[in-house]
Amino acid sequence: MKLETLINNTPESPGRIFWKGFKKNKLAVCGTIIITALFIIAIFAPVIAPYDRDAINTKEILTPPSKIHLMGTDELGRDVLTRIIWGSRVSLLVGFVAVGIATIIGIPLGALAGYYGRSADGLIMRFVDVMLCFPTFFLILAVIAFWEPSIWKIMLVIGLTSWMGVARLVRAEFLSLKERDFIQAARALGGKDVRTIFRHILPNSLAPVLVNATLGIAGAILIESALSFLGIGIQPPDPSWGNMLTAGKDNIEIAWWLSFFPGFAIFITVMGYNMLGEGIRDAIDPRLR
């Protein structure tokens, strides 16, 4: 009987607690479904797309949505649905790679500033403050203006100009965690700084970084779409939701679908990532359990 009581009273693992809280959040589940569907569409774009991505048909220029072309055709007779499906690859790739670059830069800098403090903290955070003085989007515009636009350069620039938030977040976590009893115990046992940082502090500070990264992907997608809309992002004929919006604005009075469907794709994607990020944050926060 005592053994059964002990088994029943065994505390649940953090992963199980997180999953139970996450499942209760309907918006988070909805966001997960949206993002999963987008991944499937992006991965299997060559199979799912009903037409060739760049196929031009002069006989079907600016035809409205129909059974043949569910989202109509553009000014060159290309199928809009096909190009939106292929454009999902660009948006998801930009979001993940740009946030990955920002995370790789921000975590080490934030960890150094938070753990060592004093001169290291002052030097790193003053550099962060200088970077934050520049509006991110205009800084990206200035850098892109000197380079020939390409998807890899855009991802690199977005990542290099958006790491500051990650660094500040990690620094705050390190400042809090390094004073905890288990960190003091690790130091008392002779643990070196590198081991203490990577074995004890960093794993316990990654939860808010994960939430920030999820929300950052949505921001990166919006930035890429804005750059492509301005004509300095992904260049035609490669499809991007942003450059599709640019092409659609010239014919918006006679072909509403050219602007509506790419804009709706951006809206759904950003909303999905935001709902997923909010759900992860709520599931991680013990105060909401």
Alpha-carbon separation of residue 105 from 54, 109, 146, 235 (angstroms): 37, 7, 23, 28
Residue 5's pLDDT is 47
**Does the residue 25 lie in any domain?**
yes
Question: Cβ distance 99 to 217 under 8 Å?
Answer: yes
Verdict on whether the full-model pTM lies above 0.85: no
Structural domain harbouring 170: 14-288
Question: Cβ distance 128 to 114 under 8 Å?
Answer: no
Residue 184's pLDDT is 74
**Does the residue 216 lie in any domain?**
yes
**Does the residue 7 lie in any domain?**
no
| Degrees, nearest 5: CA angle 144-145-149 | 50
**Does the residue 2 lie in any domain?**
no
Domain of residue 283, CATH code: 1.10.3720.10
**Does the residue 31 lie in any domain?**
yes
What is the residue-level pLDDT of the chain in tens, covering all 289 positions? 444 444 455 556 666 766 777 778 788 889 899 999 999 999 999 999 999 988 888 888 889 999 999 999 998 899 999 999 999 998 888 888 999 999 999 999 998 898 888 888 889 999 998 888 877 778 777 777 777 777 888 888 888 888 998 999 999 888 888 777 777 777 777 767 777 777 778 887 877 888 888 888 888 888 888 888 888 878 878 888 888 888 888 888 888 999 899 999 999 998 998 888 888 877 776 555 5
Q: How many domains does the chain have?
A: 1
**Does the residue 8 lie in any domain?**
no
**Does the residue 5 lie in any domain?**
no
List Cβ neighbours of 78 (8 Å cut-off, separation of 6 or more). Answer: 51, 53, 54, 55, 56, 57
Residue 261's pLDDT is 93
**Does the residue 1 lie in any domain?**
no
Alpha-carbon separation of residue 65 from 49, 68, 70, 261, 268 (angstroms): 16, 8, 5, 11, 20
List Cβ neighbours of 2 (8 Å cut-off, separation of 6 or more). Answer: none
List Cβ neighbours of 196 (8 Å cut-off, separation of 6 or more). Answer: 115, 183, 186, 187
